[in-house]
Structure 1
Amino acid sequence: MPQSAPGPEGSTPWLSSPEHRAWLTQEAERQLDFFARSIRPEGGFVSLDYDGAPMAHQLQELHSTTRLVHSYALAHLAGYQGAETLIDQGMAYLWNAHRDRAYSGYVWGVQGQQVADGRKLAYGHVFVLLAGASAKCAGHPDADRLIDDASHVLDTHFWEDGPSLFADEWNRDWTPFSTYRGMNANMHGAEALLAAYEATGREVYLTRAGRILDFFMRHVARDEGWRIPEHYTADWQIDRAYDGDPMFRPKGTTPGHSVEWSRLLLQYWDLVGRPKDGTLDIARCVVTRALEDAWDTERGGLVYTLNFNGTPDIADRYWWPVTEAIGVLASLLKIAPTEEDEQWYRRLWQFANDHFVDHVHGGWFPEIDAEGRPMATQFAGKPDVYHALQATMFPLAQGVSRYAKAFEDAPLWPVGQGQ
């Protein structure tokens, strides 16, 4: 299949270009069509291979279930037909399979109806809150009980009032697992808290999101040359010696997370009335540093991790850092556009279109080799729709916060159009 261009040539800003907006809408629909095959007849979801065929491995991880709920809730609000089937499937599986009736909370991995990995991770629990918030915006009848239950667990076991941050991990029975503290769970915690505030109006969610963002963006990032270290000790000091799983807890800093932090900071700033507090400058500093450090000038794309001085450590190129960079640049282009923002936005979309978008089957390839071709080293099949769907949908929204309301007010697929 020939590759369509992600936007027109010329000087027209892509966010206001009818051609680009039509391309984004079509690409979002292709992703949703592809991942709609994830339904597992017995409950939960299956992982999908490159061609959309179900994969044999049946372990269902908490972040995968929750991200599908969140993604199809946004799609439902935007008018995508059939999204409610996936929302219902995911909400039922969260409550009946992932929820731990014996010890409370939500287990990380489930196989069928059996617990396969009983760890209790903040990273997973904040995604439960995100799923509940998005499902509430989509009008799901079970959303409130999920929000309330996830909030109770986060309050009881993860939130630390002193530093105003989330602790990371426990055993299934809530006995200590480690003293590790991490940036990633808190970043997605801020994401979930902002969504929960938008869905419920409860100020506690907005306040906590602000405290998390303040620590990482106004203190850590500023002190670290606008980079954000991944790993911390129990008293929230940077753990520069930490070297964990090279995929999920790599050492050093991760530029894909830096751009994601910046988008969330702008979302928070918008929700609190855009005060004159230097937020836009901070976001720009973090984004500029990440792009300058991580862009592979010879091959294109963003390298996965950096050393603390900004030199590449893991030079592999994955899809999700590109999607997150697109997301923050779309926010910057809506707030205070510059020519450099426009150039980066186009450069990233062109690279994604050329190397990550699957123009035959739909969905995105998660990783590419040195020649820019799809490979399967760290990921089996296509992991999820969450990152790439947001990259296509968020630029189409009117503002930089309250995306659910924006899609409800101006659906991408009005009744009688689309699927």
Structure 2
Amino acid sequence: MHSIPAASSSWLNTPAHQQWLAAEGMRLLAFAKASRLTIGFGNLDERGQLPADAQAETMNTARMTHSFALAHLQGLPGFAELVDHGIQALSGPLRDAEHGGWFATLEPRDGSTDKAAYLHAFVALAASSAQVARRPGAQALLDDAIAVIERHFWCETQGAMRESFNRDWSVEEAYRGANSNMHATEAFLALADVTQDSRWLNRALRIAERLIHGHGAANQYLVIEHFDGQWQPLHAYNQANPADGFRPFGTTPGHGFEWARLLLHLEAARVQAGMLTPGWLLRDAQQLFAHNCQHAWQVDGAPGMVYTLDWDRRPVVRQRLHWVHCEASAAASALLQRTGEAQYETWYRRLWEYSEQYLIDPVHGSWHHELDADNRPSAQIWGGKPDLYHAWQAVLIPRLPLAPSMATALAQGSGSRVM
């Protein structure tokens, strides 16, 4: 399998577009620097300020550490110390020194001390990127994250991740989630590169086979998000709370796009490693992209992708979230790299035109994280601008090969389009 070059006129091959992506990346990074707290990183408001009560959260600290490591690997000054700052927080205050693993926040709220697979996948991703960047303490953090995944989260029998546990790991949640397994797949691709251990690619394939080639394909390639402990779909899950930021009711088109891209990364990684690589990885990626575009784009008359759909493919939560469009454009660029097909060029340009018109905030910086159904700034699901990870990767992925994973590609200098 080889990627098919896009036409010379493709934005992927246009120096001005590559320069635009690079400049937008620098703008995003400059905004995100203000998220630094005494310990870890906090959530910025819409003007790029830390609220008075801001405290470190494991998710954002891990995402920032990963993102800043990618910046450092590009040779951008001023980010190495931020990577080190994130490592210190993840290795110290955010880690449960008594029982192992990571808390969601520096001071767990409402007595919650759950250990979630979603968070641990991001810790593993951050540690792997920091290790590729050769930052102090990264290897120990990476070893710790891998050990926790092996001991508590990976289920060899099911070929997927368990969801969450209480603080001492004695009680397991009777739930399985596609979201946590999707980010585990992302982390496993990075772990395969940094450890040179192909078992991570085999695990990623098993997750994708269950969730996408199995459940997703049977649902017209709209991702089923929620399952019980035996992997039976929970179609009514969170119907009373449809706009949940992590476990919304119905199907989430943004995850369909994210999965499409991850399948292509997995395909490329397995080919690069000389491993057996099923043809359905490409076919399923194309189907995911096509069906989620069909059902989510402009379905209520206004431009943009809706957040969620019900099981009859009707919009439920009509807000336009920035991360959904980041993942859609990144998936379009990956499919364009892989196939060279003009339809993906069309979508890639359409999505960037939308993001530039509605989501990118030239006044206060970064991107509006949420728009309402009429594409006006909103904050019903996500307030402020805490997320660097999605937009930063969206401007970086089109400048990198599909494999190896981002940090390793930057370290090897294989991202020839990075400017």
Select which of 52, 63, 69 maps to 2:59. 63
Residue 79 of structure 2 corresponds to residue 77 of structure 1: no
SS of equivalent to 1:33: helix
Q: Letter of the aligned partner of 1:227 in structure 2? A: L
> Which residue of the partner structure matches residue 170 of structure 2?
175
* C-alpha distance in 2 between matches for 1:51 and 1:293: 33
From the superposition, tell whether residues 25 and 216 of structure 1 become closer, same or farther in structure 2 (CA, over 3 Å): same
TM-superposed deviation, 1:178? 2.5
Cα deviations across residues 222-267 of structure 1 (Å, max 9, x unaligned)? 1111111110011011111211653221111111001111111111
> Which residue of the partner structure matches residue 46 of structure 2?
50
Q: Letter of the aligned partner of 1:277 in structure 2? A: G
TM-superposed deviation, 1:59? 3.4
> Which residue of the partner structure matches residue 108 of structure 1?
104
From the superposition, tell whether residues 195 and 116 of structure 1 become closer, same or farther in structure 2 (CA, over 3 Å): farther
* % identical aligned pairs: 36
In the TM superposition, 1:9-408 aligns within 5 A as 12-40=9-37, 42-111=38-107, 117-243=112-238, 245=241, 246-247=243-244, 248-273=246-271, 275=277, 277-297=279-299, 298-408=301-411
SS of equivalent to 1:98: coil
SS of equivalent to 1:249: coil
* C-alpha distance in 2 between matches for 1:393 and 1:119: 33
From the superposition, tell whether residues 412 and 33 of structure 1 become closer, same or farther in structure 2 (CA, over 3 Å): farther
TM-superposed deviation, 1:413? 11
- Counterpart contact for 1:109–1:117, Cα < 8 Å: no
Q: What is the TM-score with the length of structure 1 in the denominator? A: 0.91
TM-superposed deviation, 1:126? 0.9
TM-superposed deviation, 1:319? 0.3
Q: CA RMSD in A?
A: 2.2
From the superposition, tell whether residues 309 and 135 of structure 1 become closer, same or farther in structure 2 (CA, over 3 Å): same
> Which residue of the partner structure matches residue 7 of structure 1?
none
After superposing the two structures, state which structure 1 stretch, 97-106 or 392-401, moved more. 392-401
SS of equivalent to 2:92: helix
> Which residue of the partner structure matches residue 3 of structure 2?
none
TM-superposed deviation, 1:377? 2.1
- Counterpart contact for 1:355–1:372, Cα < 8 Å: yes
Give the number of aligned pairs.
404
- Counterpart contact for 1:331–1:400, Cα < 8 Å: no
From the superposition, tell whether residues 233 and 411 of structure 1 become closer, same or farther in structure 2 (CA, over 3 Å): closer
- Counterpart contact for 1:260–1:328, Cα < 8 Å: yes
Q: Which 5+ residue runs of structure 2 have no aligned equivalent?
A: 1-6
* C-alpha distance in 2 between matches for 1:152 and 1:194: 17
TM-superposed deviation, 1:58? 2.1
Q: Letter of the aligned partner of 1:59 in structure 2? A: Q
SS of equivalent to 1:60: coil
Q: What is the TM-score with the length of structure 2 in the denominator? A: 0.91
- Counterpart contact for 2:401–2:415, Cα < 8 Å: no
TM-superposed deviation, 1:34? 0.5
From the superposition, tell whether residues 233 and 410 of structure 1 become closer, same or farther in structure 2 (CA, over 3 Å): closer
- Counterpart contact for 1:98–1:108, Cα < 8 Å: yes
SS of equivalent to 2:360: coil
Cα deviations across residues 46-71 of structure 1 (Å, max 9, x unaligned)? 32122222112323221111000110
SS of equivalent to 1:68: helix
SS of equivalent to 1:272: helix
- Counterpart contact for 2:121–2:187, Cα < 8 Å: yes
TM-superposed deviation, 1:366? 0.3
From the superposition, tell whether residues 234 and 317 of structure 1 become closer, same or farther in structure 2 (CA, over 3 Å): same
* C-alpha distance in 1 between matches for 2:417 and 2:91: 30
SS of equivalent to 2:106: strand
- Counterpart contact for 2:268–2:403, Cα < 8 Å: yes
Q: Letter of the aligned partner of 2:52 in structure 1? A: A
